[in-house]
Structure 1
């Protein structure tokens, strides 16, 4: 009788553990819709990183920040890079000082709990931290002598 009771307790414990593992797995795995949002946010970050490089190059070549992002597109650079991949709205850009500027986008999700090397291909120690909150978010950037990362 004792062995039978132990078997029931053991079976219950194993069943509970298996159910907990399944629930934890479901909670950790992102839905296809959320993965799409993650990829779109990664695209926005990559666009802004490229724009930052282009702004740095413009400053290096001309000694001044561009007055608008449109100046970058007229210099033979890709126009698609200037707009959000979903809304088609232009990314926001504002000159803050002769050496600093803001680049802004609207993000679907916050990525502060994510590893930037997995999402964007850079480590936390990179010169610019491209992590962001959900919603409108601006990066305050400074012209560098080399390309921004």
Structure 2
């Protein structure tokens, strides 16, 4: 026997670890797709689809890096056994193969119990069925592949058959399809960068809005321009566009109303059908205490109006002693 036991032990451990990480990440990825395209009003009413994007990106990163390592390690071990058939009887290999089959079986049972519990709690049938199919595909694929491998070891048959050659290729194609879909669902890296710029712009506008309200509370009048908000002594500075470094637009609409404008690179997806979980609230409720919490925007220049309610925001000056 060609003795490379340390290498074999390392590769088999690498194979099972990367299999577990890939399977979990793949499952999270598909589950997030299901949550986005089959929203449950009971669970996701106040949760926009974009809240799932971070989890999708993390799972994509794991699958893109770890799954190819698993494929390489598995293929290397298979070719090594084809060249050295006596290695089929390595105890470490037998232990890890049986462990993989055992874990896959436990995963199927555990996930079925968890999903059935959510179904009994009232989850919609389509989400339940799709998640069940996802679990069966992941755990069932691992269980089937390694169980067949153990059966072939017992019969000493040649590995050049469908269950060893074609089936893994089908799994790889499915994984690639799911990974590519992730870039369409969560957006490309360049699109994500534009979204982050827009998120920063919304944060800046919210800060400026609060600065304007504080200015009005102190002076009982709106500032003529944004430069009046700057206070070097207190360290107060007005944010500018993070990409162009230009000032945001500010317009006075009345004694108690003003408008802030900015140019956005993407469209907010908080009110898109099947993506929106937060209802559109009427303006009277939308602006408590004069603050605008509705920052939905289209691509291009968008303005946001704020109306100050003096009954809520006026600061009573202390009476002289």
Alignment TM-score > 0.5, same fold: yes
Aligned to 2:187: 30
Q: 1:63 to 1:129 in 2, by over 3 A?
A: same
More deviation, 44-53/124-133: 124-133
Q: TM-score, normalised by structure 2?
A: 0.35
Which residue in 1 is equivalent to 2:306? 141
Q: Note if contact 1:93-1:103 (Cα within 8 Å) is conserved in structure 2.
A: yes
Residues 64 and 25 of structure 1, relative CA distance in 2, 3 Å threshold: same
DSSP-derived class of the 1:40 partner: helix
Q: CA deviation at 1:21?
A: 3.4
Closer, same or farther: CA 78–36 of 1 in aligned 2, 3 Å = farther
Give the deviation of 1:78 after TM superposition. Answer: 3.8
Aligned residues: 130
In the alignment, what sits opposite 2:237? 79
Q: What is the correspondence of 1:1-149 to structure 2 with a 5 Å cutoff?
A: 21-74=178-231, 76-79=234-237, 81=239, 83-113=240-270, 127=287, 128-144=293-309, 145-146=312-313
Higher-strand-fraction structure: 1
Partners of 1:104 and 1:77 in 2: CA distance: 24
Structure that is richer in helix per residue: 2
Q: Secondary structure at the match of 1:48?
A: helix
Residues 1:114 and 1:23: Cα distance change in structure 2 (over 3 Å) = farther
User: Aligned partners of 2:217 and 2:303: how far apart in 1?
Assistant: 23
TM-score (norm 1): 0.71
SS in 2 for 1:89: coil
Distance in structure 1 (CA, Å) of the matches to 2:236 and 2:193? 23
Shift of 1:73: 1.2
Q: Which runs of 5+ in 2 are unaligned?
A: 1-166, 273-277, 288-292, 314-321
Greater RCO between the two (CA within 8 Å, min separation 6)? Answer: 1
Instruction: Find the residue that maps to 2:209 and give its secondary structure.
Output: helix
- How many angstroms apart in 1 are the aligned matches of 2:196 and 2:173? 35
* Structure 1 contact 40–85 (Cα < 8 Å) conserved: yes
Query: Displacement, 1:131?
Result: 1.4
